[in-house]
Chains A and B, each alone.
Chain A
Amino acid sequence: MILHIAKKEIHHNLTTLRFALMIILLPVLFVANALIYSLGTGGYTDRINDYNGQVRQNRRHITEQANISLAELALRGPGDIPKRPSRLIFCAGGVDEVVSRSIKLRNDGSISRSSGVEDEDYAWRHPLSLEYKVVSSGSNSTGRVKINWVFIGVLMSFFTILFTFDAIAGERMRGTLSLIMSNTVSRGQVLLGKYLGAFVTVFLPLVMGVLMNLLVVLLIGGIPFDGSDWLCILGMVGLFALLVSIFIFLGLFFSSRVSNAITSLVWLLLTWVFLAFVFPSLLGIFVGNLNPIPSVDEISMRRRAQLDHIEAQWQREPEKKLRKSPAIERPAVVRLWATYFTEISDTETQIADGHIDQQLQQVQLARDLTQISPIATFQYAMEGLANTSIVGYMDFVKQARRYRQTFVDFIKAEDQSDPESLHIYPVKEGLSQKPVDPNAVPVFSEQISYRSVLSQVSLLVLFNLLFFIMAQVSFLMGEVK
C-alpha cells in the first residue's frame, strides 16, 4: 500500500510545473559548477601545480642545505608546509578559499651585529617558528556565496519544500484526504508513502545532476579521483539524501499541521530562509563577537614588545648578556646563545600559536552553535568530506606543529651521532658541521581524518528522526477535513 501511495505521489509530482522547473535548474547549476571549476582560475589544476611546485622546491631546498651541513639545515629549516589542495573543492569550498594554502615556517633573513671587535661580530638566523597566514588584504571575495554542491544542496532543500507544502494540506483542501483515509490504510502508511514519493521525485534528478557534474569534471577538468575521493562523493550524495529527507519531514509536518496549503508554504518558506541564510550567519557573527579576541594589531604589538624585552636583556647595554659571539672553542657562550634563541623561538611560537588557536576556537564555537540549522550542519559535513572544513584546517595546523617537532628531533638525533659536535641546538656553532643524507630528512605528509563528519552525520540523522516524529505526531493528531 505504501508503494502504491508513493507511486501515485511520484506520478502526480512528475507532471507538475515545479518538477519541470527543478529539472531545468538543477542540471544547469551542476554543469555550471563543473565548468566553472574545471576551466576557471584557482581550480584544482592551478592549485595542485602550485602545491607540487612547492613540494619540489622544498625538496630541492632540503637537499641543498643537507649537503652543506646539518647545522645549516637546522637553521634554514625544511621550507613552508603546504596543504594538499582538495580534489573535491568544487563540492564544498569551505575554509580553503579563505586561508592560505601553506603554513609558513618563519625564517627571517640573517641578522648581524657589528661592533668592530672581532669576537663580538656575528651573523645569525632566528630559529624556526610557524607563521599562519589567513586572508590576504584587499581581497573582496570572501563571504561571497560559492556555486558548489553545498549551494545546490541549499537550493534542493527549497525545492523539497515546494514538493511537500501541499502534500497533505492540499489533499485536505481538495477533500481527497478523507477518501484515502477511508481505505484500510494507516495514517503512518500514508505519511510514509508521501515521504517516499517526494524523496524519489527530488532525489533522482539530484543524482542525475551529480552524475552530469562528475562527467564534466572528469572529461574537461581532468581531476584524477582516487578510491577515497569516490567514497567521499558517495558520502556527499548520502548527505544530500539526509538533507532532502529532513526537509520532506519538515514539509509534511507543516502540511499536516496547517489546514491551508498556503499557510503551510508561508511557514516553510520563512523557516527555510531562516535556516539557510539568516540564522547561521547572524548567529555565527553574533557568537563570534561574543567573546572578543585580541585583534591582529594588538597581537603584533604584544609580540614586538616581548621580543623587544628579550632583545634588551640579551643584546643591549647595560644588561647585554651576549658579549661574545659563539664559537666552537667557547661552549659556554654557545649555550648562552642557545638560551637566547630558544627564548625568542618560544615567545614567537607561543604568540602565533595562541592567536591562531583563539581564532579557530572562536570560529568553532560559532560553527558548533549554528549546527542547530540542518542546512549549516549539512554544509559542515560536506566540507568535512571535501577536507576543506575548519576542523580539517585545525588538524593540518596540529600536524604542521608536530612536523616541526619531528624535524627538530631529527636534527638533534643526527647531531648526536657526530662526536665532534657540541650538541647545542639551535646555534650553528653548536651543531654538527657535516653534511647529512637528504633522504633521511623527514618529509611532511598530511593525514586526513574524516572523524569530525561523524558528529554532523549523526546530527543530521537526529534531525531526521526529530522531524519524522513531529510529522508523524502532527499527522496522527491532525483533522482529516
Chain B
Amino acid sequence: MPILWLVIQREFVSNVLTSRFMIGFIVCVFSTAVAVFVQMDDYEKRLAGYNTAVREAEAEAREWDLYVDIKPQAHRKPNPLSIFNLGTENDGANTVTVELGKPIFEFISTIWGAPTQKRGSDNPFLAMFLSVDVVFIFKIVLSALAILFAYNTISGEREDGTLKLVLSNSIPRDTVVLGKYLGGMLSLFPIVLVSLIVALLIAVSSPVTGFDGNDIAHIILIFGVSLFYVSTWYLLGLLLSVWTKEAATTLILSMFIWVVLTSVHANVVTFAVDKLSPYQSQPEGAFLQPAFDVWDEFKRERDAYVKQRGYDDLRASITWEPETSSTGLGSNSYTGGYFRLRRYSVPSVDKADTSIFQELLGYQERLRSEYAGKAEKILNKPAEERERDAKFADALSRISFADVYHFAVGAIAGTDRQSYNGFIEDARAYKREIVEFLKDKEAFSSRAWFSTDKGTADLADLPVFKHKRLSLSESFARASMDILILLAWNILLFMTAYVSFLQYDMS
C-alpha cells in the first residue's frame, strides 16, 4: 500500500508542477466562470418571461365567467440547472394552451393558433451562436486536459528511461498502473472541483437562481458524472500510452480521437440522421386531412345523436332560433386541424328554455373532447417521427462517450429532449385533468357553459398546471443507463490498459 501511495504521490506531483496543469487550471476555471455568467443572464431573462406569462395568464383567468371560455395554459418553468447545462431549454414550445376541442401537438411549420407556442424569444437570429455552458466546457476542455495528463504516463517514462528504473524496484506492474491512474485523477480532481465551486458560487450569488437542496444534490451528481467522464479520457490516454512506443505518437493519436469524439462524431451523426431520415416520413400537411376527417366523423356522430333523441328538427322543438344568430349552434370553423365551436349565442337567453340545448351540449362537448383525443393521435405523428429520428441519432451518438456524458448530464439536469417531451406530456395530462374537472362539475350541460344569466361558472378550484421537478433518485434513474455506459467504458479501458501493461515489453 505505501508503494501505491508513493506512485500516486509521484504522479500527482509531477503533474501539478507542469505548466499544462497551471494553464489548464486557469483556463478551465475562467471559461467556466464566463459560461455561468452568460448562461445566468439568459436564465434570468427566461425566468422574467415566464413570470410575466404566468401573471398575464392569471389575469386572463380572472375574466372567465363561462365554462366555455376557459383556456388555461401550461407554462414551462425555466430550469435553474440550465445555467450548467442549457440543453433543450431554449428550444421548442414553452406555452401550451389547453382547449377542449384542441389537440395538443407540435408541427415544425407554423400553424395559425397552434396550441404549442414559444413566447418571449427575443431574437431567434441569436440561435445561430452555439450555446456554451459549463457542461460544454467540461466536455471539451476537461477531456483535453485529461489526455494531456495521461499521454506520457507510460510511453513518456519509457522514452526517458525512467520506466525501467521504476520497474527494477520491487513494485508490481499493477501497482504502477493503478498508481498512475489514481495519481492522474488526483491531479485532475482539483480542477473539476474548483471550476464547479466557482460556477456554483457565481450562480448562488445571484438572487434569481434560488437553488434548493434538491438542485444542489443534482449539481453534486453532475460533478460525480463529470469525474467519471474525465476518468474515461484519462484511461484512454493511459491505454494509448501503453500501446504506443513514443509519447509524441500517443499524443497525436489521442488528440485525433479527442477531436473526433468530442466534435465530429455526434455532429455528423445527428446531422446525417436529420437530413437522411431512415424512416419514410410524410410532410406535416398530409396529416391535416385525416384530422379534418375525424371532425367530420364527430359531426356525423353528433347529428346521429340529435336525430336519435328526436331533436332532428331543432327549430320546431326548441324555443330559440339558432339560425338567426350569425354564430349560433352548429356554426363551426376549421383551423389547423382542430375543431371548435364559435361562441353560442342565444337570443334573449334569459327567457329561453335551454334545457334541450343543454342536454345536447352535455353530449356534444364530451364527445368533442374525445374526438380531440383522436385528432391528437393523428396530428402527433410528425412529432413522433421526429422523436424516432432523434432517438436513432442519439443511439448512434452514444458510440462516443463524450456524448454519453452529455446525455447523462442532460438527464440529470432535466434539460434533455426527454424532459421537454415530458413537459408536453404533462400538458396533456393537465388537459385531461381539466376535462375531468368539467365533467365533475357537469359543466357541459350546465347553463353556465354558455350564459351568465343564472350565475357564473364556478372556477374556484380549477386545476392549475403544476411543474414537476424530478427528485435526485428519479434523475439518477433516468441517467442510469448513460452512467452505466460511462462506467463500462471506464472498466473496459482500465482492464485493457492493465492487461496491456502486464504484457508490456520493456525491451
Contacts and interface: CB of A to CB of B under 8 A. Distances in A.
A289 B41 contact: yes
Contact of A135 (B124, B137, B417): B124
Contact of A289 (B45, B108, B152): B45
A458 interface: no
Contacts of B92: 137-138, 140
Contacts, number: 207
Interface string B127-138: 111111000110
A142 B275 contact: no
Interface string A280-294: 111011101100111
Interface stretch (B1-9, B265-273, B329-337, B372-380): B265-273
B271 A36 contact: yes
Contacts of B107: 138
B106 interface: yes
A278 interface: yes
Contacts of B18: 263
B24 interface: yes
B412 interface: no
Contacts of B140: 273, 277
A404 to B, nearest CB: 22
Is chain A's binding surface mostly helix, strand, loop or mixed? helix
A417 interface: no
Contact of A147 (B34, B260, B268): B268
B35 interface: yes
B76 to A, nearest CB: 13
Interface stretch (B247-255, B315-323, B402-410, B497-505): B247-255
B400 interface: no
Interface stretch (A13-21, A211-219, A331-339): A13-21
B209 interface: no
A288 B129 contact: yes
B88 A140 contact: yes
Contact of A21 (B127, B130, B256, B271): B256
Contact of B252 (A21, A41, A135, A294): A21
27 contacts: A18-B252, A21-B253, A32-B272, A36-B276, A40-B272, A135-B127, A138-B116, A140-B390, A142-B128, A145-B271, A162-B256, A265-B251, A269-B255, A270-B24, A270-B141, A280-B129, A282-B34, A282-B35, A295-B120, A295-B121, A297-B119, A297-B120, A360-B125, A362-B123, A362-B125, A363-B123, A370-B129
Interface of A: 16-18, 21, 25, 29, 32, 36-37, 39-43, 94-95, 98-99, 133-147, 151, 155, 158, 162, 166, 170, 260-263, 265-267, 269-270, 273-274, 277-278, 280-282, 284-286, 288-289, 292-297, 359-360, 362-363, 366, 370, 390
Given A136-B110, A140-B91, 11 more contacts: A16-B252, A133-B110, A138-B116, A142-B124, A145-B130, A146-B271, A162-B252, A262-B152, A263-B18, A270-B23, A284-B128
Q: Shortest 9 CB-CB distances between A and B: which pairs?
A: A40-B275, A284-B129, A135-B124, A142-B127, A281-B130, A363-B125, A134-B124, A137-B118, A140-B91
